[in-house]
Amino acid sequence: MTDQPSVIGKLPAASQRHKRLPLRYGLAVSRDIFLYTLLALAAVEAIYLSDKVITNLLQVTLQRQAGVGALALLTALAAPEVLFITLPTGLLIATYFVMLRRREAREFLIYSGFGYSTFLLVVLCMLIGIAGLAVSLAATGYIEPTARQAFGRLSFDLQYKAMREGRIAPGRFYEFGDYTVFAPPNREAGSLFIHQRLDDERYRIVIADRTQLVGQALTGSLGLIFENARAHEFLRLRDREGFAERGEPDPCPECRNAHPAMPISIVEINRLYGELPTRDLPSFISGAEEPGLMTTGELTRAVHTTPVLAEIAGRLLRGFLCFIAPLLGLLAFALTRPATLLFALPAATAAILCGGFFGGHVLKGLAPYGAATTFGVLLVVMVLATGLIIYAIHREQGGCVRPERLRL
């Protein structure tokens, strides 16, 4: 038999066919799935980032008087936020359409005519899934936490850039911690107002010419300097509900707001310093161990705590979804007929999304029972799900080969 061209390329000699054809063809299919996955990721990321820029980042950037460069950097740092959704769904959609196009081109029909089993497609999808698993673990374990920390720090720096430089935009409130700073429109010197909560019973109103944020965010040491300040300290008035709860009579129900509150002290000083407590800083600055902001390496050193255990299990679950996404795409492709064309892919996508949503909640509920229980249940579910999908593909292997004359 001589070599002849076909829809899968030039066939090699019969003695070499079983060695070279699967590898060459598998690489071609993998390349197409990779390209389709990139297109799906780009499409979903574009939709998400467009919405985030319009509804959030653009407004925040304009309010904080930042430039286009800051907006672009914030947008780039926000991109990894949806990788846990876009990566598995992208792999699933890419596998589905690549396989469907090749089936309708009768490639798999010719492929099976040379004695190749559809089991090779399962192996190929598992190899692609392993690559997706590795990418997911790297993204959720290192890229996403690092990007979230960088996003938070940049947002924090932009928020207080004007205050750090000593210039307050008129008509704007600046709130952080126990402080609220406000500059009225068309203000004159001495009309910058600062409200400071001292404790549950006392608060302070400061009128100053200028305020400046000092300290370093990375060290968690921040404070405010008020220049030419006049500080008025007040006692909080207890509301009527407070008297009723304690069974005390209201001393003056008719005249509660008849007279303004009088300050208990007034201090005038050239430079007044107020420290911002560490507890009021965001967790990425104050050093608080929030699991979502920690890399996987950092989490493994604190796996004894329940939140950390739940976070690690959640990242493993997202990686597993990337592993089975190509297999689910192959199953949806095998089940695709004219009658199921509109349902096969949406059903597989819904399975991925539901697995991520409900699986994450189940793992959080299992985390208090310890690492052995949590990871044991996760491992059993992973093995069973993979086995059931492969079994279903084997049952529907005829659908992997037989063209259905679908218009794509």
Predicted TM-score (pTM) of the model is: 0.74
Q: What is the pLDDT of residue 281?
A: 55
pLDDT for the residue numbered 158: 74
| Beta partners for residue 225, in sequence order | 212, 273
Q: Quick one: pLDDT at residue 60?
A: 77
What lies within 8 Å, CB to CB, of 52 at 6+ separation is: 75, 78
Instruction: Say what the pLDDT of residue 170 is.
Output: 66
109/116 Cα distance (integer angstroms): 10
Phi, psi of 176 (to 5 degrees): -165, 135
Alpha-carbon Rg of the chain, whole angstroms? 31
Give me the pLDDT at residue 10, please: 45
Tell me, what's the pLDDT at 3?
46
Q: State how far the Cα of 245 lies from the Cα of 236, in Å rounded to an integer.
A: 17
Give the pLDDT means over successive 10-residue stretches in the chain (408 positions): 43 45 81 94 92 87 79 91 92 95 87 78 94 95 90 76 60 69 60 74 77 61 72 66 54 51 71 62 56 84 82 94 96 90 92 93 91 94 96 88 73
Instruction: Give per-residue pLDDT as tens, 178-221.
Output: 777 776 665 554 467 777 777 777 788 887 777 666 665 555 56
Q: Tokens 């993998």 map to which residue? A: 30
CB atoms within 10 A of CB 281: 19
CA distance 158 to 332: 47
Neighbours of 364 (CB within 10 A): 17
Query: What pLDDT does residue 325 have?
Result: 96
3-state secondary structure of 205: strand
- Contact between 190 and 228 under an 8 Å Cβ cutoff? The reply is yes
Helix axes 83-104, 17-52, angle to 10 degrees: 140
